[in-house]
A and B are shown apart, each in its own frame.
Chain A
Amino acid sequence: MNVLVVNGGRSSLYFVQSLAASGHDVSFLSHDRSDCELFATTYDKPAICGDALDVSILKRSLNHATDLVVAIGDCEAENYTICTLAKKMFHVKKTIALVRNPKNIPFFLHNDIDRCFCAADLLASVTDQEAVEDNLRKFFPPENHNLVVKEIQLQPKSNVANKELWEIPLPPQSLIACVLRDGRGVIPQGNTRFLAGDRLIVLVMKNHMEETVTLLNG
């Protein structure tokens, strides 16, 4: 994927590093000269140093192959404007913006920005998950190690591939809590059909774990 990362200071370079390691072709545009120099030295590629709200500079940073613009500067309004310009003027396929105020996410999405990242929201959701885990620990103390949360990927020869949930005779004290497929998570209903390759998040009491794993992937 051809990705243009805009602004974000030193921390954006760690993000660039991860993208490059995953095989993406990354370009970098920033108003900070020292960040640009660091990018150019590290990746042996030219970085563009300038104001991304200057249309001529944004145009020079994009090319016909740019699939994604990621604006991760400190100023949320600047991220918004950069992504909106990339979409409306240069028809970039996808844009992602860093948002400071979670209340502004609906406004960003309304203006065709594809994804928003909000540190406050992420922290809140992690805290929520921690709270859920805390409650689980209260009811299922770790010293008993009774409750197991396990991820199981369905193999092509799995007994349950192409079966619906209601057809699967799950052992007592076991539950398929979530199905991860194509980057999305789904809470299964009775008529949910499982496919080979699906990753199932299973909650099961330890004494029924082996039986459950054998049933799902035996």
Chain B
Amino acid sequence: MSCQGGFCDMKIFNRVKHQQLRFLVIGCGHFGFPIVRYLSEQDFTITCIDLRAEAFEDMPLSFHELMIEGDGTDPATLEAAGIESTDIVITATNNDAVNIMIAQMAKQKYHVSRVVTRLYDSVHEEACSALGIEVINPIMLFTEACLTKLKSSEEA
């Protein structure tokens, strides 16, 4: 696992295993699904929410996640997913406004200590930063990784 999105800074992976911290992932599409799969392979406790039941079809039954079909901006869905006892919320839908709203609900309404938001469209980065939303921009991560690889191959 590479060091991304501040997880390594917190040395969170070591702590999480011991303390059984709970993840809540909202959005299980092309982006969220591999995150859920990876985390469950690592035996983390995960709950995931998606609007579409089809999103869970490919999820192996051996994973012990709780899967909830519903709207992640609905307080009833978030509460059914146990957001009040969640340690880390990952908003991974393909709609930045939805990610922003859920991130703010998680922080303000449910006092979740760690909220990480996927940025779908880079043009919304300024809006997120103005609203104090911590985002991970997959495109920038990829670009930076490319540049680092290029630099290291040039140096070699």
B partners with A: yes
Interface, chain A (partner B; CB < 8 A) = 51, 53-56, 75-78, 80-81, 84-85, 88-89, 101, 103-104, 107, 110-111
Known: A103-B75, A104-B75. A75 touches B98 (CB 8 A): yes
Q: Which of B74, B76, B97, B109 contacts A81 (CB 8 A)?
A: B97
Residues of B in contact (CB 8 Å), total: 23
The docked-state distance in angstroms from the alpha carbon of A81 to that of B98 is 9
Q: Which of B74, B97, B104, B130 contacts A103 (CB 8 A)?
A: B74
B9 within 8 A of A: no
Contact B131 A88 (CB under 8 A): yes
Contact A77 B97 (CB under 8 A): yes
Known: A54-B124, A75-B97, A107-B109. A81 touches B73 (CB 8 A): no
- Chain A residues, CB < 8 A from B121: 51
B101 within 8 A of A: yes
Contact B97 A55 (CB under 8 A): no
What is the predominant secondary structure among interface residues of chain A facing chain B? helix
The docked-state distance in angstroms from the alpha carbon of A152 to that of B110 is 48
The docked-state distance in angstroms from the alpha carbon of A156 to that of B132 is 53
The docked-state distance in angstroms from the alpha carbon of A88 to that of B130 is 8
- Chain A residues, CB < 8 A from B3: none
A51-B123, A78-B97, A101-B73 given; name 8 further pairs at CB < 8 Å. A53-B96, A54-B126, A56-B126, A77-B95, A77-B98, A85-B127, A103-B76, A107-B109
- Chain B residues, CB < 8 A from A55: 126-127, 130
- Chain A residues, CB < 8 A from B104: 111
Q: Which of A76, A77, A81, A101 contacts B131 (CB 8 A)?
A: A81
Question: How far in angstroms is the closest Cβ of chain A from B117?
Answer: 12
Contact B97 A80 (CB under 8 A): yes
Give 1 or 0 for each of B106-140: 1 = CB within 8 Å of chain A CB: 00110000000000010110110011000000000
- Chain A residues, CB < 8 A from B74: 101, 103-104
| Residue in B closest to A78 when the chains form the complex, CB atoms | B97
